[in-house]
Amino acid sequence: MRRNLLDTSPLVGYLRRRPVAVSLVAPWVAAAEAATSIVVYAEAIEHLKGLPNSSGHVAELQTALEEILPYGLNYTILDRYADLRRNLRPPYGSGLIGIFDTLIAATALEHDLTLVTMDTDFQRVPGLRVLLIPRHVR
């Protein structure tokens, strides 16, 4: 059962074999507890295409997504996205977060997943469970 939605930094860290990311993510992958968003795929692919041997990195990402389920967008997630944007907007909320981040948060909420991230902005999303990896830990 999927329990964790990987944001871009943990997913890319796992693919680039960063020790902290591997130690965190590998057990979830083995237990089929890791998921991501198709929006994270877009952010990750943009990053990976900027690296040397980008085709190899892209191939690794596509292989990893055979085990790390990428959730797509649907009307329910997009409705939740709209509600989040409206609720985060001042004066009612603590301030907007990026459009992609709001879509990622809506996906995690819709599928009742904990978002694994290095981005503190997600902590402003009401009701979102966040596992925050400190930025200094790579």
Q: Which domains does the chain have, with CATH numbers?
A: 4-132 (3.40.50.1010)
For the entire predicted model, the pTM comes to 0.94
pLDDT digits (tens, 9 = 90+) for 61-104: 999 999 999 999 999 999 999 999 999 998 877 889 999 999 99
Distances (CA, A) of 122 to 42, 50, 68, 127: 18, 26, 21, 10
pLDDT for the residue 91: 83
Give bridge partners of residue 36 from the DSSP assignment. Answer: 70
pLDDT digits (tens, 9 = 90+) for 97-128: 999 999 999 999 999 999 999 999 999 999 99
pLDDT at 138 over 70: no
* Phi, psi (deg, nearest 5) at residue 116: -100, 115
